[in-house]
């Protein structure tokens, strides 16, 4: 249900029908449950979060579209391969592709080392929307963190729309780098403790995580 709603809302966003969606599906949780008795309370809450996110994104896109460069991709997927590649991310990618949403997913990503290939940086720059899938091991990857820094940069400079998806993690874990994220950063800081440039990079990672987690997004619980 959660994945289907996410795919549907992204599709409606790009088709320009978000106002129609709000008219038919928005409203209180009770209203939605009366129209669809099978809608659970948790699904309704998750639905509301993404509705708010997409409404905000739609408004932002409408006001900035005339100033944007030509986008090559509709969506860029940022994710930790070992966590979600064969599960949530692959299903999300297929769902978007099947609905005609031009989505970039790095099928060859090895996530080794810190350097991101130029072609990947270019794909981020040329994407209208970035969906960032935060999972438990996201912050263990320097690759993912550098990718996120670039995404936040594109949000600020190119008006790219960024929507975080919290997959089996709490937004506060990402925002404040606690629990799994604290463990990951302890290792990063230990690695760079004698490297001034490295510690500055770690600081940028923290800033990017906090910025992304403060955006309206969507909570997804794996099964």
Residues noted as catalytic: 147
> Rounded to a whole number, what is the distance in angstroms from the first to the last CA of the chain?
12
Widest Cα–Cα separation across the chain: 60
d(CA 91, CA 3): 8
Distance CA 147, CA 205 (A): 10
Q: Where do we find the tokens 């874990």?
A: 173
Taking the C-alpha atoms of residue 35 and residue 13, their distance in angstroms, rounded to an integer, is 22
Instruction: Name the one residue in this structure whose structure tokens are 């790009």.
Output: 14
User: Would you mind telling me the total number of residues written for the chain in this entry?
Assistant: 223
Interatomic CA distance for residues 139 and 26, integer angstroms:
34
Region of 39 (left: φ > 0; alpha: ψ -120 to 50; beta: rest) is beta
Question: 106-109 long-range CB contacts below 8 Å, 24 or more apart?
Answer: 106/77, 109/81, 109/143
Measured between alpha carbons, how far is 180 from 46 in angstroms, rounded to an integer? 23
Identify the three-state secondary structure at position 161: strand
Phi, psi of 63 (to 5 degrees): -80, -25
């Amino acid at each position: 249900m959660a994945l289907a709603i996410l795919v549907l809302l992204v599709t409606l966003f790009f088709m320009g029908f978000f106002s129609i969606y709000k008219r038919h599906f928005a409203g209180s949780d009770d209203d939605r449950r009366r129209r669809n008795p099978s809608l659970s309370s948790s699904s309704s809450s998750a639905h509301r979060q993404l509705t708010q996110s997409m409404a905000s994104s739609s408004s932002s896109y409408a006001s900035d579209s005339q100033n944007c460069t030509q986008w090559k991709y509709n969506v860029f997927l940022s994710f930790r391969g070992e966590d979600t590649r064969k599960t949530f991310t692959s299903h999300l990618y297929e769902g978007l592709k099947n609905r005609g949403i031009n989505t970039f997913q790095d099928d060859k990503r090895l996530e080794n080392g810190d350097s991101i290939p130029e072609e990947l940086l270019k794909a981020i720059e040329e994407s209208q929307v970035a969906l960032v899938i935060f999972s438990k091991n996201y912050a263990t990857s320097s690759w993912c963190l550098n990718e996120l820094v670039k995404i936040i940069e594109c949000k600020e400079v190119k008006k790219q729309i960024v929507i975080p998806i919290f997959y089996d993690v709490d937004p506060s874990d990402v925002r404040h780098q606690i629990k799994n994220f604290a463990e990951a950063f302890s290792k990063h800081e230990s690695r760079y403790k004698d490297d001034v440039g490295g510690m500055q990079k770690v600081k940028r990672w923290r800033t990017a995580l906090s910025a992304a987690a403060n955006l309206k997004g969507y909570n997804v619980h794996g099964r």
